[in-house]
Amino acid sequence: MAVDVVLLSLRNDLLHIGVVQRRGTSAYIDGNVLVRRGNPRAPRRVERLERHPQHHWALPGGHVGNTLLGDAYGAGPTPDTTLTEAALRVLARETNLALTEDHLHQIGAFGDADRDPRSGRTISVAFLAIVGDDRDLAIHPNDAVGHVSRVQFRPLVDVLARPNRLEFDHEDIVMAAISLVRNLVVTTPLAAKFCREEFTIGELRRVYEALFHGSLDSGEAAERPGHADAVRGYLAKLEVLAALSDPGVGRTISELAMMMPLPLPNRPDFMIDGRDVEVKSHSSRVLRSSGYGFASQSTPPVADIARQMELMSRLLRQSTKTRTPRAPRLLKALDPTNFARKMQKIGILAAVEGGSRPTFDRYGKPAALFRLDPDREQAPFLLRLEGLSKSDSSD
């Protein structure tokens, strides 16, 4: 018996999934996955292949601890009393994420005889967990955690599309998780878990727009033009940005900072005809002018001005190269007014008195803040998304 966990999070309007690479040179890949995408009843052909360090991924998971296995498979010396306890343990071991049972939603059991070609028959119970916006997704990028050599949160569209491949039947588990989360966000307040504790209606709408975009419908949909290729272009720009973030930018800023003058509390900044002028001092240098009885502490030498201009120009060029690229917009368009009206009608939100901020942090007018209403019983509801792609007045 094993457990697997599908970790989902939303960043830059892209749904991310937590994936790992375990130690070892081999990966177990379904060679018939492309046929099974169109015909789930087609036979699975999981083969042991040489692991590709860039394209072979797996879900966090492992065996349920019991007295028979001991610690042979990293299950730990103490048996797990429940499946959720096992899921939390392997999740902490492979990703260092400390979650609780309240974070887990059971997806189902996956036990086809051909899902794992190793000894015996392995049945895996899969769980879904939402990692909220207030957590750092880059906890261990490319670092070893336990018996895992790499841990990454990657855009889900990128993971589903070739040449990337998920081990065993993990693609089936991921698609089942997408189906489950789509069902839960229209019948429960789970969508708010993707946001911070206080959020705007616009931020909540973006959760639905990202979750229901067609690129997440299947592996084939992820590979359609404008989906995975757009995301990979964005990831490539981020890699270039990381490469450009060298000490050169820091050195330029440091040199500029060193050239900035220090304040002198005991000297005036300007003297005109022997009288002090109360202006905040900016420099320790004192230059005298033979004309007009004028002297200033804040005028640097000409050579310094030229150097400052050179450094400012260099910093401008470097900052232009390192400007963060805009993420692709893989969103199902929902009408803002209609969505807000329907969310208010459901009645699961409570306004934060006096709270507001721009909806998307970087732009937009300040919008009112909300949180889940703690005084309302979270009874099931049904949020119909049909018709929300256009403005209308119907309920």
Reported as a single tens digit per residue, the pLDDT across 18-27 is 999 888 889 9
**Span 112-134, pLDDT tens digits:** 998 998 877 899 999 999 988 55
Q: Report the alpha-carbon distance of residue 391 to residue 337 in Å, rounded.
A: 7
Helix (H) or strand (E) run with residue 90 in it: helix 83-95
Q: What is the share, in percent, of the chain residues with pLDDT greater than 90? A: 44
Where helices occur in 247-394 by DSSP H, the ranges are: 247-259, 302-321, 336-346
pLDDT of residue 309: 74
Q: Which residues of the chain have pLDDT under 50?
A: 137-142, 263-264, 269-274, 277-299, 392-395
Q: If you search the block for the tokens 């504790």, which residue do you land on?
A: 197
Domains along the chain with CATH numbers: 2-244 (3.90.79.10), 247-321 (no CATH)
Q: For residue 89, what are the contacts with CB-CB under 8 A and spacing of at least 6?
A: 65, 76, 80
Pairwise CA distance, residues 97 & 18, whole Å: 11
The one-letter code for the residue type at 231 is: V
Q: Kindly report each contact of residues 372-376 with a partner whose C-beta sits within 8 Å and lies 24 or more positions away, as own/partner.
A: 372/189, 372/192, 372/348, 373/347, 373/348, 373/349, 374/350, 375/350, 376/347, 376/348, 376/350
- In this prediction, residue 247 carries a pLDDT of 57
Give the model's pLDDT for residue 377: 72
Peptide linkage before 163 cis (omega within 30 of 0): yes
End-to-end CA distance of the chain: give it in Å, rounded: 47
pLDDT, residue 198, reads 92
Predicted confidence at residue 69, as pLDDT, reads 55
CA separation (Å) from 296 to 261, 292, 293, 376?
13, 12, 10, 67
